[in-house]
Amino acid sequence: MRNIARYLLVISAVIFFTLIATVKIYPELSPYPKISQWNYHQLKRIDESKREFSFVVFGDNRGSVELFPKLLKKVDEENALFAVHNGDLVDNGEKERYRLFINQIKKMNTPLLIVIGNHELKKNGRGLYYDLFGRFYYSFTVGDSYFILLDNANWRNIDPWQMDWLKKELEKSKDYRYRFVFMHVPLYDPRKGKNQKGHSLKDLNFAKKLNALLDRYEITMLFASHIHGYYKGVWGKTPYIITGGAGAPLEEDRNPKHYFYHYIRVTVRENGVNYQVVRISPPRYEALSNFLYALWMKTYIALRRNFWQSIAIFVLAYLVIFSRMTRKR
pTM: 0.84
Q: Which amino acid is residue 57, in one-letter code?
A: V
Domain boundary assignment for the chain? 2-31+290-328, 38-279
**What are the pLDDT digits (tens) for 26-69?**
665 566 778 999 999 999 999 999 999 999 999 999 989 899 99
Mean pLDDT, residues 250-267 taken together: 89
Domain 38-279, what architecture?
4-Layer Sandwich (3.60)
**What are the pLDDT digits (tens) for 215-230?**
999 999 999 999 999 9
Mean pLDDT, residues 91-108 taken together: 91
Q: Where are the alpha helices (DSSP H) in 30-146?
A: 38-44, 67-77, 98-105, 126-133
Q: How far is CA 97 from CA 3, 28, 47, 139, 176, in A?
A: 41, 16, 31, 27, 39
Residue 241 CA to residue 27 CA, distance in Å, equals: 39
**Binning pLDDT at 50, 70 and 90, where does residue 248 land?**
very high
Give percent of the chain with pLDDT exceeding 90. Answer: 67
Q: Which of 78-82, 298-302, 303-307, 317-321 has the highest mean pLDDT?
A: 78-82
pLDDT given for residue 304 in this prediction: 67
- Least confident span in 217-221, 293-297, 307-311: 307-311
pLDDT given for residue 228 in this prediction: 95
Provide the phi-psi class of 123: left if phi over 0, else alpha when psi is between -120 and 50, else beta.
left
Which 3 state secondary structure label does DSSP give 264?
A: strand
Strand partners of residue 276: 265
Residue 274 CA to residue 266 CA, distance in Å, equals: 6
Class of residue 203 by CB neighbours under 10 A (exposed 0-12, middle 13-18, buried 19+): middle
